[in-house]
Amino acid sequence: MRSKAFGFVAFAAGLAILVIALKALNWFPLVAQKDLMRRYGDFEEMRTALGIRQVFVPSYFPEEFRWPPTGILAQGKPYPAVIMEFERSGEGKAREIGMMIYQATRDDFSPGGTLAISRIRERATYPLKGRSAILEVGSGVKGEPCSRISWREKDVRITVLARLTPFELMKVAESMLR
């Protein structure tokens, strides 16, 4: 019985060493290769590191959000992708990501995270300044209103996902295009 209990301790210790080793192995390529997915302090730093010239950004922001993004994640390999996170700002607002704008050369790119539409109520094609965009309206994980609009712009797919009404979301998306 005692040896079995000691076995459990040894097993747990072995697993802990394995987890640490995996984390260390996972970290090494980040040091050796600069264009893997990582966080950047600002746009210039990201542009210099990855050479992604065209990043689509909005000129209109709803009241709760403001420029610059609170977080920027980007990668150059295996394909270019940029994620901009916007936290809600203002007195008494919980510091949580309320809007996410991402662009990637692949259509199936998905950032995931806490901001997501868990239930889609309506899905429609929407003409966005001459582009055909897909608008999805639904609710987030806590039941709050959540909308997403996505369209193809040259060689990238752009998506705006936010805890906003569809009307506000479309205003943000339209402000990203000339």
CA of 75: how far to CAs of 39, 83, 99, 136, in Å? 9, 9, 20, 26
Please check whether residue 43 is in contact with residue 55, taking contact to mean a CB–CB distance below 8 angstroms: yes
Which residues 46-75 are close enough to bind another protein by CB under 8 A?
Answer: 73, 75
- Shortest CA distance to 148 belongs to which of 172, 113, 127? 172
Among 46, 72, 81, 135, binds another protein (CB under 8 A): 81
Among 67, 77, 107, 120, binds another protein (CB under 8 A): 77
Binding of another protein by 112 (CB under 8 A):
yes
Which residue, 26 or 48, has its beta carbon nearer to another protein?
A: 26
The span from the CA of 153 to the CA of 71, in Å, is 23
The site for another protein (CB under 8 A) is made up of 3-4, 7-8, 10-11, 14-15, 18-19, 22-23, 25-26, 29-30, 32-33, 36-38, 73, 75, 77-78, 81, 83, 109-113
